[in-house]
Amino acid sequence: MPSSVLSAPISSIGIPKEIKSDELRVAITPDGVKELVSQGLEVRVQTGAGTGVGIEDQSFALAGAKIVSRDEAWSSHLIVKVKEPQEEEYQLLREDMVLFTYLHLAAYPKVGEALLKAGTTSIGYETVQMEDGTLPLLAPMSEIAGRLAAQVGAHLLEKPNGGRGVLIGGCTGVRPARVIVLGAGTVGWNAARLAANMDAEVMLLDRSPERLRKLEAHRKGRLVSVVSSRGLIERLIPTADLIIGAVLTPGGRAPTLVDERMVEQMKSKSVIVDVAIDQGGCIATSKETTHTKPTINIKGVEHYAVSNMPGAVPFTSTEALVSVTLPYILCIAGRGLEGAITERPEIVSGLNTIKGSVCHPGVAKALNLHPRHPMACLN
Active-site residues, by number, are 104, 278
Given a contact cutoff of 8 angstroms between Cβ atoms, the answer to whether 146 and 179 are in contact is: no
Phi-psi category of residue 162: left, alpha or beta, with phi > 0 → left and psi -120 to 50 → alpha: left
Q: Of 303, 279, 341, give the one whose Cα is nearest residue 141.
A: 279
Contacts of 278 (CB under 8 A, 6+ apart): 102, 104, 107, 307, 308
Q: Which long-range contacts (CB under 8 A, 24 or more apart) does 330-334 make?
A: 330/35, 330/36, 330/39, 330/41, 332/10, 332/78, 332/98, 332/100, 332/123, 333/9, 333/10, 333/11, 333/13, 333/36, 333/39, 333/41, 333/78, 334/9, 334/39, 334/41
**Pairing mode, if any, of strands 351-354 and 301-304?**
unpaired
Phi-psi category of residue 377: left, alpha or beta, with phi > 0 → left and psi -120 to 50 → alpha: alpha
Whole-number Å distance between alpha carbons of 325 and 22? 22
Given a contact cutoff of 8 angstroms between Cβ atoms, the answer to whether 337 and 110 are in contact is: no
